[in-house]
Amino acid sequence: MNLFGETNRLDRPAWLLLVISGLFAVSTAMSNTFVNVYLWKLKQDFSVIGRFNLASYLAMAVTFVLAGRLAKKVDRVIAIRVGVALQAFFYLSVLLLGPKAVEQVLFLGIFLGVGSGFYWLSYNVLYFEITEKYNRDIYNGINGFLTSAAGILAPVISGWIITKVDHFTGYRIIFASSLGVFLLAVVVSFMLKRRSAHGDYELGRIIRLALDRSNHWFWVNLAMIAQGTREGLFAFLISLLIFVATGNELALGGYLTASSLVALFSYFAVGRLMRISWRDESIFLGAAMLGIVVIPLIWDVNTWTLVALGVGAALFYPVYMVPLTSAVFDVIGETQETARLRVEYVVARELALNVGRVISVSTFLWWIEKAPNLTQLRWLLLPVGFIQLFAWLAIRRVPLLEKE
């Protein structure tokens, strides 16, 4: 019996894409969280972190539109190379700026957002083209497993380096390592066969569908906005709060390693056991539990309640995310016409996600201006923690959710 199930359903391009995704995960696990911590250490101001992430999300949204045109009119593989290369140069910029990075958070946020936009747009288009409905859950399970595996060792090693070496020298070491891993991902991308496209770029047409309640895409977009609202805030804030509570990068690395280990087993189980007919129930269970694990923060915001939140989210996020992602891409592949416009659909999906991310980070910036006390943040985290239930309510309106 194959450890990961019927992996023979995945061909060479699928495995190459998994390798690129795995390298991307290694690099981000090493450094992404520590970029926010690095900026916090330079200037202990939540608004600096918020503006950095807001600039990144806004730049990402604009880039999706431009990257979509490149992917549609030129080549998807070129777009993913551009994205990975720009991510590498982002870390080079952080290295060159050093302590002055805190003065350039908007520039750095835009730089990171542009690189992320090119990468995720092209990655998702390639993911759609390379996988099919019969192997999508398997691919998602393996991809999640690799992402979690990358997060097991990389964060704690990064935290150890930072604490054992002179702190800012340690940060330079891990940022330089991320630069090298991204460059390796660029090399691997040259093994992917070029995938040119033809036809007009009809993004406006797909965006109009998002406003039509009778179309499946309307409900998909609502689900993506809800998902993005949670991701936009939780992606950076929980880890930062754990560092603020502990004051130690090694402790933060240990937390990230523990949560990644939990996520690894969860992705493994979901990838092995998920059935199309279970998607609705799985999304509901995952969405509900992602909210419930936030509830302990009501009593106190401390290291243990934050760790319980992070580890609990790592356990239930795959239960929610794997079937949701598969269902969304099944909608894109519903007919030959929707598949023909796959680039536009992926751009629209990413724009919806970023609408949610911008909403949550903007709300965060407003909140800390009105209530800068750390303990008051729990009243913002609680409703955002349950927001993905709206994603379940929206996506269950799509008949394809459980269609064999």
Which stretches of the chain score pLDDT less than 50? 1, 404
pLDDT at 222: 93
What pLDDT is stored for residue 364 in this prediction? Answer: 94
- Amino acid (1-letter code) at residue 249: E
Spatial contact of 245 and 302, defined as CB atoms under 8 Å apart: yes
CA gap 372, 377 in Å, rounded: 8
Residue keyed to tokens 């690099």: 27
User: What integer pLDDT is reported at residue 400 of this predicted model?
Assistant: 58
Distance separating alpha carbons of residues 43 and 52, to the nearest angstrom: 13
The confidence score (pLDDT) of residue 366 equals: 93
Query: What CA–CA distance (Å, rounded) separates 239 from 258?
Result: 12
Domains and CATH numbers, the chain: 11-402 (1.20.1250.20)
CB 137 within 8 A of CB 274: yes
Cα 87 to Cα 91, 108, 114, 119, distances in angstroms? 7, 11, 8, 9
State residue 124's pLDDT score: 81
What string of DSSP letters covers 222-287?
A: HHHHHHHHHHHHHHHHHHHHHHHHH--HHHHHHHHHHHHHHHHHHHHHHHHH--GGGHHHHHHHHH
DSSP 292: H
List, for residues 49-74, the tens digit of each pLDDT value: 999 999 999 999 999 888 888 777 77
